[in-house]
Amino acid sequence: MAVGILALVGLSGCSGQWARFGLPEPASEQAPHIGNLWVGFWIAALVVGALVWGLIGWAVIRYRNKGDEHAAPRQTKYHLPLEILYTLVPFLIIGVLFLYTVRAADAVLDQSQEPDVTVDVIGQKWSWTFSYHGADDPAIGVDAHNVGTLEKIPDLYLPVNQRVRFNLESADVIHSFWVPAFYFKMDVIPGHPNSFDVTPNKVGVFDGKCAELCGEMHAAMIFKVHVVEEAEYEAYVKQLAADGNEGLKVMPQTTKHVLPESNSKEG
Ligand SMILES: [Cu+2]
């Protein structure tokens, strides 16, 4: 226990990635929900670990073999209160962790507010397609899309401090849309559209990845997230449209059309 508390004091005293137990700097309004959960789990695990290691160490030293047979500890069997304690305490710990997990999940999956910006994401072997709903925004007035390829890693532009809704669809296999700095990823499943909201709150360029081992070129499914001021975002979408990428890229309603013919026929 003492070791755990000491570790906590040490950690709270130092800043940066160590204090976040390895997480990158958070870049969205929703990220702290997951960040706090992650740090809380580590602290709970360290406290339990310190207690167990402490008891093991104490027993090893206290009851080490001194060549005296009578030095062995008292042997306890069928001690009902102790066994009930062993059973209840882990359930209590799991219950508390579960409660905080559900709360964090509810917070990051909340879509009760209307988004400021909507971006459709299609995961396709082996890149991403981003479609910006700009037509209903008077400052933009046009929809535009950006298709990534193996040769050209796609850019994703997002306005800072605006609620962004991502609609995720897959053209082929299961991918996973992941921006580590947002502490969030969601599976991109063929025939099963997914959606989540995020509010980037830090201007900068962040890495995006596919977090599902989707096939041979999985590692190539990376993208760059540019969180920019609103005016720059509007200018980007307008420019995309002007460069011949007007409109939204939409998926056919059923993935049966997407799979190659040979896959749907009896082989
Ligand atoms: Cu993928």
Is 34 part of a structural domain of the chain? Answer: yes
Mean pLDDT, range 247-257, rounded to an integer: 67
Question: Is pLDDT above 70 for 14?
Answer: no
Residues 152 and 103 in one domain: no
Q: Are 231 and 166 in contact (CB under 8 A)?
A: no
* CA 93 – ligand 1 centroid, Å: 35
CA of 164 to the centre of ligand 1 (A): 22
* Distance from residue 32's CA to the centre of ligand 1 (Å): 26
* In a shared domain, residues 103 and 179: no
Among 45-49, 74-78, 220-224, the least confident range: 74-78
Instruction: Count structural domains, the chain.
Output: 2
129/246 same-domain check? yes
Average pLDDT over residues 15-39: 93
In this structure, of 9-18, 19-28, 165-174, 225-234, the range with the lowest mean pLDDT score is 9-18
Instruction: Decide if 39 is inside a domain.
Output: yes
Structural domain boundaries enclosing 6: 2-64+75-108
Q: Examine the domain organization and report whether 172 and 249 are in the same domain.
A: yes
H/E segment holding residue 195: strand 194-198
**Same-domain check for residues 104 and 147:** no
Q: Which of 250, 227, 235, 236 is nearest to 120 (CA)?
A: 250
Whole-number mean pLDDT of the chain? Answer: 90
Q: Does residue 123 sit in the same domain as residue 222?
A: yes
Report how far ligand 1's centroid is from the alpha carbon of 206 (Å).
18
Assess whether 86 and 174 both reside in one domain: no
* Residues 41, 102 within the same domain: yes
Q: How many angstroms separate the CA atoms of 17 and 26, rounded? A: 10
Mean pLDDT calculated for residue range 197-222 = 97
Q: How far is the CA of 66 from the centre of ligand 1 (A)?
A: 60
Specify if 218 maps to a domain.
yes
Note whether 37 and 96 are within 8 A (CB). no
266 inside domain? no
For 78-122, write each residue's pLDDT tens digit: 999 999 999 999 999 999 999 999 999 999 999 999 999 999 999
Query: Residue 266: which pLDDT band, with cuts at 50, 70 and 90?
Result: very low
Give the pLDDT confidence of 58-67 residue by residue, as tens digits. 999 988 887 7
Residues 127 and 231 in one domain: yes
Residue at 267 is within a domain? no
| Alpha carbon distance 7, 168 (integer Å) | 41
Q: How far does residue 104's CA lie from ligand 1's centre (Å)? A: 26
Ion ligand 1: protein residues whose beta carbon lies under 5 Å: 175, 210, 214, 221
**Rounded distance from Cα 182 to ligand 1 centre (Å):** 18
Query: Within this chain, do residues 145 and 228 fall inside the same structural domain, yes or no?
Result: yes
5 falls in which pLDDT band (50, 70, 90)? low
Q: Please report the pLDDT score of residue 12 as a whole number.
A: 55
Tell me, what CATH number does 192's domain have? 2.60.40.420
Please check whether residue 70 lies inside any domain of the structure: no
Q: What confidence score (pLDDT) does residue 63 get? A: 87
- Report the C-alpha gap between 69 and 257 in whole angstroms: 77
Is residue 150 included in any domain, yes or no?
yes
